Amino acid sequence: MGHDTDQTQPLPRRSPDAATRRDQAVRAAVEQGLVGPATPVAGLLDVTGIRASAAALHAAFDAVTAPGTPVLHAFAVKATPLVPVLRLLREAGIGAEVASPGELALARAAGMPPARTVLDSPAKTPAELREALALGIAVNADNPEELARLDALVASAPTRSPLGVRVNPQTGAGSIGALSTATATSKFGVALRDEGARAWLVEAYLDRPWLTRLHTHSGSQGVPLERMAEGVRAVHELAEEINAAAGRRQVDTLDIGGGLPVNFGSDEETPTYAAYARLLAATVPGLFGGSYGLVTEFGRSLTAKHGTTLALVEYAKEAGGRPIAVTHAGVQVATRTVYAPASWPLRIAAYDAKGLPKNGPLVAQDVAGPACFAGDLLAENQELPLLAAGDHAAALDTGAYYFAQHYSYNSLARPGIYGHVTEPDGTVRFATVRAPQPVEEIVAEAGGALRDGLTEL
Protein backbone atom coordinates (compact mmCIF):
# COMPACT_ATOMS: atom_id res chain seq x y z
CA MET A 1 0.00 0.00 0.00
CA GLY A 2 1.21 3.50 -0.75
CA HIS A 3 2.36 5.76 2.03
CA ASP A 4 3.52 9.27 2.74
CA THR A 5 7.29 9.28 2.31
CA ASP A 6 7.81 12.63 4.07
CA GLN A 7 9.58 11.47 7.24
CA THR A 8 9.75 14.98 8.70
CA GLN A 9 6.04 14.88 9.57
CA PRO A 10 4.34 12.50 11.99
CA LEU A 11 1.88 10.05 10.51
CA PRO A 12 -1.53 11.73 10.32
CA ARG A 13 -4.04 10.13 12.64
CA ARG A 14 -7.76 9.99 12.73
CA SER A 15 -9.44 12.67 14.76
CA PRO A 16 -8.87 11.70 18.41
CA ASP A 17 -12.59 11.86 19.13
CA ALA A 18 -13.67 9.62 16.22
CA ALA A 19 -13.49 6.42 18.28
CA THR A 20 -15.34 8.18 21.08
CA ARG A 21 -18.11 9.20 18.69
CA ARG A 22 -18.36 5.60 17.58
CA ASP A 23 -18.66 4.31 21.15
CA GLN A 24 -21.28 6.92 21.94
CA ALA A 25 -23.25 6.01 18.82
CA VAL A 26 -23.19 2.29 19.61
CA ARG A 27 -24.45 2.88 23.14
CA ALA A 28 -27.16 5.24 21.94
CA ALA A 29 -28.23 2.84 19.17
CA VAL A 30 -28.75 0.12 21.75
CA GLU A 31 -30.47 2.43 24.22
CA GLN A 32 -32.79 3.84 21.56
CA GLY A 33 -33.66 0.42 20.15
CA LEU A 34 -32.11 0.85 16.71
CA VAL A 35 -30.41 -2.48 17.37
CA GLY A 36 -32.18 -5.07 19.49
CA PRO A 37 -34.12 -8.34 19.34
CA ALA A 38 -36.54 -7.05 16.69
CA THR A 39 -33.85 -5.34 14.55
CA PRO A 40 -30.65 -7.25 15.31
CA VAL A 41 -28.35 -5.51 12.82
CA ALA A 42 -27.95 -1.90 11.67
CA GLY A 43 -25.49 0.35 9.89
CA LEU A 44 -24.27 3.52 11.61
CA LEU A 45 -22.75 6.45 9.70
CA ASP A 46 -20.69 9.16 11.39
CA VAL A 47 -21.89 12.38 9.74
CA THR A 48 -19.15 14.44 11.38
CA GLY A 49 -16.51 12.10 9.99
CA ILE A 50 -17.89 12.18 6.45
CA ARG A 51 -17.95 15.98 6.49
CA ALA A 52 -14.36 16.01 7.75
CA SER A 53 -13.22 13.71 4.93
CA ALA A 54 -14.88 15.93 2.32
CA ALA A 55 -13.18 18.99 3.81
CA ALA A 56 -9.82 17.19 3.84
CA LEU A 57 -10.20 16.30 0.15
CA HIS A 58 -10.93 19.91 -0.81
CA ALA A 59 -8.06 21.22 1.30
CA ALA A 60 -5.53 18.72 -0.05
CA PHE A 61 -6.09 19.65 -3.69
CA ASP A 62 -6.56 23.36 -2.99
CA ALA A 63 -3.08 23.35 -1.44
CA VAL A 64 -1.39 22.22 -4.68
CA THR A 65 -3.66 23.61 -7.42
CA ALA A 66 -3.22 26.97 -9.09
CA PRO A 67 -5.89 29.50 -8.06
CA GLY A 68 -8.84 29.60 -10.40
CA THR A 69 -8.39 26.05 -11.70
CA PRO A 70 -11.77 24.31 -12.18
CA VAL A 71 -11.82 21.26 -9.89
CA LEU A 72 -14.70 18.81 -9.46
CA HIS A 73 -14.50 16.16 -6.78
CA ALA A 74 -17.12 13.59 -7.82
CA PHE A 75 -18.03 10.88 -5.31
CA ALA A 76 -18.07 7.35 -6.73
CA VAL A 77 -21.72 6.55 -5.99
CA LYS A 78 -21.08 2.79 -6.03
CA ALA A 79 -19.16 3.15 -2.77
CA THR A 80 -22.21 4.24 -0.73
CA PRO A 81 -25.32 4.38 -2.93
CA LEU A 82 -27.63 6.10 -0.46
CA VAL A 83 -29.51 9.26 -1.40
CA PRO A 84 -29.08 11.02 2.00
CA VAL A 85 -25.32 10.38 1.86
CA LEU A 86 -25.13 11.85 -1.65
CA ARG A 87 -27.13 14.85 -0.44
CA LEU A 88 -24.75 15.32 2.50
CA LEU A 89 -21.77 15.20 0.15
CA ARG A 90 -23.47 17.59 -2.28
CA GLU A 91 -23.76 20.13 0.53
CA ALA A 92 -20.06 19.54 1.24
CA GLY A 93 -19.19 20.54 -2.33
CA ILE A 94 -18.84 17.03 -3.75
CA GLY A 95 -20.38 15.90 -7.06
CA ALA A 96 -21.23 12.41 -8.30
CA GLU A 97 -19.57 9.80 -10.50
CA VAL A 98 -22.16 7.28 -11.71
CA ALA A 99 -21.88 4.02 -13.60
CA SER A 100 -25.47 2.89 -14.21
CA PRO A 101 -28.98 4.23 -14.70
CA GLY A 102 -29.69 3.38 -11.06
CA GLU A 103 -26.73 5.37 -9.78
CA LEU A 104 -27.69 8.31 -11.98
CA ALA A 105 -31.23 8.16 -10.58
CA LEU A 106 -29.83 8.21 -7.03
CA ALA A 107 -27.62 11.21 -7.81
CA ARG A 108 -30.52 13.10 -9.36
CA ALA A 109 -32.74 12.26 -6.37
CA ALA A 110 -30.06 13.78 -4.14
CA GLY A 111 -30.15 16.97 -6.21
CA MET A 112 -26.79 16.54 -7.91
CA PRO A 113 -26.61 19.04 -10.81
CA PRO A 114 -25.81 17.52 -14.23
CA ALA A 115 -22.77 19.80 -14.47
CA ARG A 116 -21.36 18.10 -11.35
CA THR A 117 -22.07 14.57 -12.53
CA VAL A 118 -19.82 12.22 -14.52
CA LEU A 119 -20.96 9.02 -16.27
CA ASP A 120 -18.46 6.16 -16.44
CA SER A 121 -19.16 2.53 -17.32
CA PRO A 122 -17.68 -0.05 -19.67
CA ALA A 123 -21.16 -1.00 -20.91
CA LYS A 124 -23.25 2.12 -21.49
CA THR A 125 -26.38 1.53 -23.55
CA PRO A 126 -27.55 3.90 -26.30
CA ALA A 127 -30.38 5.02 -24.00
CA GLU A 128 -27.91 5.85 -21.19
CA LEU A 129 -25.75 7.88 -23.57
CA ARG A 130 -28.73 9.76 -24.99
CA GLU A 131 -29.97 10.64 -21.51
CA ALA A 132 -26.56 11.85 -20.39
CA LEU A 133 -26.08 14.00 -23.48
CA ALA A 134 -29.56 15.47 -23.15
CA LEU A 135 -28.91 16.42 -19.52
CA GLY A 136 -25.40 17.78 -20.12
CA ILE A 137 -23.67 15.16 -17.97
CA ALA A 138 -19.98 14.51 -18.64
CA VAL A 139 -19.32 11.19 -20.37
CA ASN A 140 -16.08 9.22 -20.62
CA ALA A 141 -16.22 6.77 -23.52
CA ASP A 142 -14.70 3.41 -22.63
CA ASN A 143 -13.78 2.05 -26.05
CA PRO A 144 -13.75 2.72 -29.81
CA GLU A 145 -17.21 1.22 -30.35
CA GLU A 146 -18.72 3.49 -27.72
CA LEU A 147 -16.94 6.44 -29.30
CA ALA A 148 -18.60 5.53 -32.61
CA ARG A 149 -21.98 5.67 -30.84
CA LEU A 150 -21.11 9.11 -29.54
CA ASP A 151 -20.21 10.19 -33.07
CA ALA A 152 -23.75 9.47 -34.20
CA LEU A 153 -25.39 11.02 -31.14
CA VAL A 154 -23.32 14.22 -31.27
CA ALA A 155 -24.08 14.58 -34.98
CA SER A 156 -27.80 14.17 -34.42
CA ALA A 157 -28.29 16.66 -31.59
CA PRO A 158 -26.21 19.36 -29.88
CA THR A 159 -25.08 18.69 -26.30
CA ARG A 160 -23.47 20.58 -23.43
CA SER A 161 -21.86 17.40 -22.13
CA PRO A 162 -18.07 17.43 -21.75
CA LEU A 163 -16.85 14.31 -23.55
CA GLY A 164 -13.68 12.29 -23.21
CA VAL A 165 -12.13 8.83 -23.47
CA ARG A 166 -11.02 6.53 -20.68
CA VAL A 167 -7.45 5.35 -21.00
CA ASN A 168 -5.93 2.29 -19.35
CA PRO A 169 -2.30 3.25 -18.67
CA GLN A 170 -1.42 -0.44 -18.13
CA THR A 171 0.77 0.42 -15.16
CA GLY A 172 0.15 -2.89 -13.40
CA ALA A 173 -1.84 -4.54 -10.64
CA GLY A 174 -2.04 -3.93 -6.93
CA SER A 175 -2.33 -6.56 -4.22
CA ILE A 176 -6.02 -7.30 -5.00
CA GLY A 177 -6.21 -8.54 -8.57
CA ALA A 178 -9.99 -8.29 -8.86
CA LEU A 179 -9.84 -4.55 -8.16
CA SER A 180 -6.83 -3.70 -10.30
CA THR A 181 -8.06 -1.57 -13.21
CA ALA A 182 -4.73 -0.80 -14.91
CA THR A 183 -3.42 -4.25 -15.77
CA ALA A 184 -2.33 -5.19 -19.29
CA THR A 185 -5.63 -6.96 -19.94
CA SER A 186 -8.05 -4.83 -17.88
CA LYS A 187 -11.60 -4.60 -19.21
CA PHE A 188 -11.59 -0.82 -18.68
CA GLY A 189 -10.66 1.85 -21.19
CA VAL A 190 -8.40 1.98 -24.24
CA ALA A 191 -5.18 0.08 -23.52
CA LEU A 192 -2.57 2.80 -24.00
CA ARG A 193 0.47 0.56 -24.46
CA ASP A 194 -1.10 -1.83 -26.97
CA GLU A 195 0.37 -1.62 -30.46
CA GLY A 196 -1.03 1.34 -32.35
CA ALA A 197 -3.30 2.48 -29.51
CA ARG A 198 -1.53 5.73 -28.72
CA ALA A 199 -1.51 6.87 -32.34
CA TRP A 200 -5.17 5.88 -32.68
CA LEU A 201 -6.08 7.98 -29.63
CA VAL A 202 -4.29 11.06 -30.95
CA GLU A 203 -6.02 10.71 -34.31
CA ALA A 204 -9.38 10.09 -32.63
CA TYR A 205 -9.10 13.42 -30.82
CA LEU A 206 -7.90 15.32 -33.87
CA ASP A 207 -10.92 14.00 -35.80
CA ARG A 208 -13.33 15.04 -33.01
CA PRO A 209 -12.88 18.62 -31.80
CA TRP A 210 -15.64 17.98 -29.23
CA LEU A 211 -13.46 15.52 -27.30
CA THR A 212 -12.07 17.74 -24.54
CA ARG A 213 -11.31 15.38 -21.67
CA LEU A 214 -9.07 12.45 -20.88
CA HIS A 215 -9.89 9.99 -18.12
CA THR A 216 -7.97 7.34 -16.23
CA HIS A 217 -8.61 5.39 -13.05
CA SER A 218 -5.55 3.42 -11.99
CA GLY A 219 -6.10 3.37 -8.24
CA SER A 220 -8.02 1.10 -5.90
CA GLN A 221 -7.62 -0.76 -2.63
CA GLY A 222 -4.21 -2.42 -2.57
CA VAL A 223 -2.65 -0.18 -5.23
CA PRO A 224 0.43 1.82 -4.12
CA LEU A 225 0.13 5.58 -4.40
CA GLU A 226 3.19 5.67 -6.61
CA ARG A 227 1.52 3.37 -9.14
CA MET A 228 -1.62 5.50 -9.08
CA ALA A 229 0.48 8.58 -9.80
CA GLU A 230 2.18 6.78 -12.72
CA GLY A 231 -1.24 6.33 -14.32
CA VAL A 232 -2.02 10.03 -13.93
CA ARG A 233 1.34 10.95 -15.43
CA ALA A 234 0.60 8.75 -18.44
CA VAL A 235 -2.70 10.47 -19.17
CA HIS A 236 -1.16 13.92 -18.66
CA GLU A 237 1.59 13.09 -21.17
CA LEU A 238 -1.05 11.90 -23.64
CA ALA A 239 -3.01 15.13 -23.21
CA GLU A 240 0.12 17.15 -23.93
CA GLU A 241 0.75 15.10 -27.05
CA ILE A 242 -2.81 15.54 -28.31
CA ASN A 243 -2.76 19.28 -27.70
CA ALA A 244 0.58 19.65 -29.44
CA ALA A 245 -0.72 17.73 -32.46
CA ALA A 246 -3.90 19.83 -32.50
CA GLY A 247 -1.97 23.07 -32.19
CA ARG A 248 -4.41 24.21 -29.50
CA ARG A 249 -5.62 23.33 -26.03
CA GLN A 250 -8.21 20.79 -27.16
CA VAL A 251 -7.96 18.62 -24.03
CA ASP A 252 -8.79 21.05 -21.27
CA THR A 253 -9.72 18.70 -18.39
CA LEU A 254 -8.11 15.60 -16.89
CA ASP A 255 -10.26 13.16 -14.94
CA ILE A 256 -7.75 11.35 -12.72
CA GLY A 257 -10.19 8.93 -11.11
CA GLY A 258 -10.04 7.99 -7.45
CA GLY A 259 -9.12 4.79 -5.69
CA LEU A 260 -7.24 6.14 -2.67
CA PRO A 261 -6.66 3.05 -0.49
CA VAL A 262 -8.07 2.87 3.02
CA ASN A 263 -6.29 1.57 6.11
CA PHE A 264 -8.57 -1.13 7.55
CA GLY A 265 -6.03 -2.21 10.16
CA SER A 266 -6.44 0.59 12.69
CA ASP A 267 -8.18 3.90 13.32
CA GLU A 268 -5.41 5.81 11.51
CA GLU A 269 -6.61 7.50 8.33
CA THR A 270 -3.71 6.71 6.04
CA PRO A 271 -2.81 7.39 3.33
CA THR A 272 -4.23 10.89 3.31
CA TYR A 273 -5.52 13.03 0.47
CA ALA A 274 -2.78 15.51 1.29
CA ALA A 275 -0.07 12.87 0.86
CA TYR A 276 -1.51 11.79 -2.48
CA ALA A 277 -1.92 15.37 -3.75
CA ARG A 278 1.71 16.15 -2.84
CA LEU A 279 2.88 12.99 -4.60
CA LEU A 280 0.91 13.91 -7.72
CA ALA A 281 2.41 17.41 -7.69
CA ALA A 282 5.89 15.91 -7.54
CA THR A 283 5.25 13.16 -10.11
CA VAL A 284 3.24 15.20 -12.63
CA PRO A 285 4.51 18.78 -12.32
CA GLY A 286 2.19 20.13 -15.01
CA LEU A 287 -0.97 18.69 -13.50
CA PHE A 288 -1.82 21.46 -11.07
CA GLY A 289 -0.46 24.52 -12.89
CA GLY A 290 -3.80 25.67 -14.25
CA SER A 291 -3.45 24.32 -17.80
CA TYR A 292 -6.04 21.66 -17.12
CA GLY A 293 -9.25 21.49 -15.16
CA LEU A 294 -9.39 18.50 -12.83
CA VAL A 295 -11.95 15.85 -11.91
CA THR A 296 -11.48 13.26 -9.18
CA GLU A 297 -13.65 10.23 -8.41
CA PHE A 298 -12.90 9.15 -4.85
CA GLY A 299 -15.39 6.85 -3.15
CA ARG A 300 -14.22 4.43 -0.46
CA SER A 301 -11.85 6.93 1.11
CA LEU A 302 -14.67 9.42 1.78
CA THR A 303 -16.97 7.09 3.70
CA ALA A 304 -15.36 3.79 4.70
CA LYS A 305 -13.83 4.88 8.01
CA HIS A 306 -17.09 6.47 9.09
CA GLY A 307 -19.33 3.42 9.02
CA THR A 308 -19.98 0.75 11.64
CA THR A 309 -22.08 -2.38 11.24
CA LEU A 310 -23.58 -3.21 14.64
CA ALA A 311 -25.02 -6.68 15.22
CA LEU A 312 -26.63 -8.42 18.16
CA VAL A 313 -24.98 -11.64 19.30
CA GLU A 314 -27.85 -14.11 19.18
CA TYR A 315 -25.97 -17.14 20.49
CA ALA A 316 -22.52 -18.00 21.82
CA LYS A 317 -21.24 -21.53 21.28
CA GLU A 318 -18.04 -23.52 20.88
CA ALA A 319 -16.75 -25.95 18.27
CA GLY A 320 -13.41 -27.73 18.31
CA GLY A 321 -12.37 -25.67 21.29
CA ARG A 322 -12.99 -22.34 19.52
CA PRO A 323 -15.68 -19.91 20.73
CA ILE A 324 -18.16 -18.77 18.10
CA ALA A 325 -20.37 -15.69 18.40
CA VAL A 326 -23.37 -16.10 16.10
CA THR A 327 -24.60 -12.69 14.98
CA HIS A 328 -27.02 -11.26 12.42
CA ALA A 329 -24.30 -9.61 10.29
CA GLY A 330 -22.66 -11.76 7.67
CA VAL A 331 -22.51 -12.21 3.93
CA GLN A 332 -25.55 -9.99 3.33
CA VAL A 333 -23.68 -6.91 4.60
CA ALA A 334 -20.02 -7.97 4.23
CA THR A 335 -20.00 -9.91 0.98
CA ARG A 336 -16.41 -9.19 0.02
CA THR A 337 -15.08 -10.07 3.47
CA VAL A 338 -16.94 -13.36 3.58
CA TYR A 339 -15.88 -14.50 0.12
CA ALA A 340 -12.37 -12.99 0.12
CA PRO A 341 -11.34 -12.67 3.79
CA ALA A 342 -7.62 -12.43 3.04
CA SER A 343 -8.15 -9.33 0.90
CA TRP A 344 -10.92 -7.76 2.99
CA PRO A 345 -10.36 -8.51 6.69
CA LEU A 346 -12.52 -6.57 9.15
CA ARG A 347 -11.75 -5.39 12.66
CA ILE A 348 -14.42 -6.32 15.15
CA ALA A 349 -15.09 -4.36 18.33
CA ALA A 350 -16.89 -6.01 21.25
CA TYR A 351 -19.69 -4.22 23.13
CA ASP A 352 -21.80 -5.55 25.98
CA ALA A 353 -25.57 -5.85 26.21
CA LYS A 354 -25.88 -2.14 27.05
CA GLY A 355 -23.72 -1.06 24.14
CA LEU A 356 -20.67 -0.28 26.26
CA PRO A 357 -17.15 -1.34 25.18
CA LYS A 358 -16.53 -4.80 26.55
CA ASN A 359 -13.46 -5.45 28.66
CA GLY A 360 -11.76 -8.63 29.73
CA PRO A 361 -9.08 -11.04 28.52
CA LEU A 362 -8.68 -11.34 24.78
CA VAL A 363 -9.93 -14.66 23.47
CA ALA A 364 -9.48 -15.95 19.91
CA GLN A 365 -12.97 -16.49 18.52
CA ASP A 366 -15.03 -16.52 15.35
CA VAL A 367 -17.69 -13.92 14.67
CA ALA A 368 -20.24 -15.63 12.46
CA GLY A 369 -23.17 -14.43 10.39
CA PRO A 370 -26.65 -15.88 9.98
CA ALA A 371 -26.37 -17.34 6.47
CA CYS A 372 -26.55 -21.09 5.89
CA PHE A 373 -23.04 -21.82 4.74
CA ALA A 374 -19.89 -22.46 6.75
CA GLY A 375 -17.86 -19.57 5.39
CA ASP A 376 -20.28 -16.90 6.56
CA LEU A 377 -17.81 -15.30 8.97
CA LEU A 378 -17.13 -11.63 9.70
CA ALA A 379 -13.92 -12.63 11.45
CA GLU A 380 -12.12 -15.89 12.04
CA ASN A 381 -9.97 -16.58 15.11
CA GLN A 382 -9.87 -12.87 16.01
CA GLU A 383 -8.84 -11.94 19.54
CA LEU A 384 -11.60 -10.07 21.39
CA PRO A 385 -13.11 -9.96 24.84
CA LEU A 386 -15.28 -13.07 24.88
CA LEU A 387 -18.66 -12.32 23.30
CA ALA A 388 -21.80 -13.73 24.92
CA ALA A 389 -25.44 -13.89 23.86
CA GLY A 390 -26.96 -10.43 24.14
CA ASP A 391 -23.66 -8.65 23.51
CA HIS A 392 -22.97 -6.72 20.31
CA ALA A 393 -20.28 -7.15 17.65
CA ALA A 394 -19.33 -4.07 15.65
CA ALA A 395 -17.64 -4.44 12.27
CA LEU A 396 -15.55 -1.29 11.85
CA ASP A 397 -14.76 0.80 8.74
CA THR A 398 -17.82 -0.48 6.88
CA GLY A 399 -19.10 2.85 5.54
CA ALA A 400 -18.27 1.93 1.93
CA TYR A 401 -19.10 -1.24 -0.01
CA TYR A 402 -20.65 -2.95 3.01
CA PHE A 403 -24.11 -2.40 4.47
CA ALA A 404 -25.35 -0.31 1.54
CA GLN A 405 -24.64 -3.07 -1.03
CA HIS A 406 -27.01 -5.75 0.16
CA TYR A 407 -26.60 -9.38 -0.90
CA SER A 408 -29.89 -11.17 -0.37
CA TYR A 409 -28.56 -14.62 0.51
CA ASN A 410 -31.21 -16.61 2.44
CA SER A 411 -33.60 -13.72 1.68
CA LEU A 412 -32.06 -11.81 4.59
CA ALA A 413 -33.55 -8.35 5.00
CA ARG A 414 -31.64 -5.17 4.30
CA PRO A 415 -30.69 -3.55 7.60
CA GLY A 416 -31.64 -0.06 8.64
CA ILE A 417 -28.96 2.58 8.27
CA TYR A 418 -28.71 5.62 10.53
CA GLY A 419 -26.55 8.71 10.41
CA HIS A 420 -25.44 10.12 13.74
CA VAL A 421 -23.98 13.27 15.26
CA THR A 422 -22.87 13.86 18.82
CA GLU A 423 -23.82 17.09 20.55
CA PRO A 424 -21.32 18.89 22.83
CA ASP A 425 -23.11 17.45 25.87
CA GLY A 426 -22.61 13.91 24.54
CA THR A 427 -26.17 13.42 23.32
CA VAL A 428 -26.33 11.36 20.13
CA ARG A 429 -28.91 12.26 17.51
CA PHE A 430 -29.82 9.83 14.75
CA ALA A 431 -31.42 10.33 11.34
CA THR A 432 -32.74 7.43 9.29
CA VAL A 433 -30.82 7.00 6.05
CA ARG A 434 -32.59 3.81 5.00
CA ALA A 435 -35.35 2.10 6.97
CA PRO A 436 -35.05 -1.62 7.79
CA GLN A 437 -36.56 -3.74 5.03
CA PRO A 438 -39.90 -5.35 5.94
CA VAL A 439 -40.47 -9.01 5.11
CA GLU A 440 -43.39 -8.01 2.90
CA GLU A 441 -41.00 -6.19 0.60
CA ILE A 442 -38.83 -9.29 0.27
CA VAL A 443 -41.90 -11.23 -0.82
CA ALA A 444 -42.88 -8.53 -3.32
CA GLU A 445 -39.38 -8.44 -4.82
CA ALA A 446 -39.47 -12.23 -5.16
CA GLY A 447 -42.58 -12.11 -7.36
CA GLY A 448 -45.16 -12.45 -4.60
CA ALA A 449 -47.83 -10.77 -6.70
CA LEU A 450 -47.08 -13.17 -9.58
CA ARG A 451 -47.29 -16.43 -7.70
CA ASP A 452 -49.50 -18.10 -10.34
CA GLY A 453 -47.42 -16.82 -13.25
CA LEU A 454 -45.77 -20.18 -13.97
CA THR A 455 -48.69 -22.47 -13.18
CA GLU A 456 -50.82 -20.59 -15.72
CA LEU A 457 -48.44 -21.31 -18.60
Rounded to 10°, the helix 47-62/83-91 angle is 40
Give the count of alpha carbons within 13 A of 116, CB side only. Answer: 22
**Geometric angle at alpha carbon 294, from 291 and 296, rounded to 5°:** 160
Bridging pattern class, strands 348-351 and 117-119: unpaired
Q: Which helix (H) or strand (E) holds 101?
A: helix 101-109
Cα–Cα dist 40/58, whole Å: 37
- Using DSSP, how many helices (H) and how many strands (E) does the chain show? 12, 18
User: Considering only CA atoms, which of 252, 257, 348 is closest in space to residue 292?
Assistant: 252
- On whether the CB atoms of residues 351 and 308 are closer than 8 A, the answer is no
Give the count of alpha carbons within 13 A of 267, CB side only. Answer: 14
- On whether the CB atoms of residues 296 and 65 are closer than 8 A, the answer is no
- On whether the CB atoms of residues 364 and 320 are closer than 8 A, the answer is no
- On whether the CB atoms of residues 322 and 274 are closer than 8 A, the answer is no
Cα–Cα dist 255/235, whole Å: 9
> In Å, what is the CA distance from 146 to each residue of 72, 135, 153, 190, 214?
24, 18, 11, 11, 15
What are the residues whose beta carbons fall under 8 Å from the beta carbon of 348, sequence distance 6 or more?
367, 378, 379, 382, 384, 393, 394, 395, 396
Decide if 165 is catalytic.
Answer: no
Q: Which of 38, 372, 449, 454 is catalytic?
A: 372
- On whether the CB atoms of residues 74 and 295 are closer than 8 A, the answer is yes
User: Considering only CA atoms, which of 179, 183, 141, 142 is closest in space to residue 163?
Assistant: 141
Residues marked as catalytic: 372
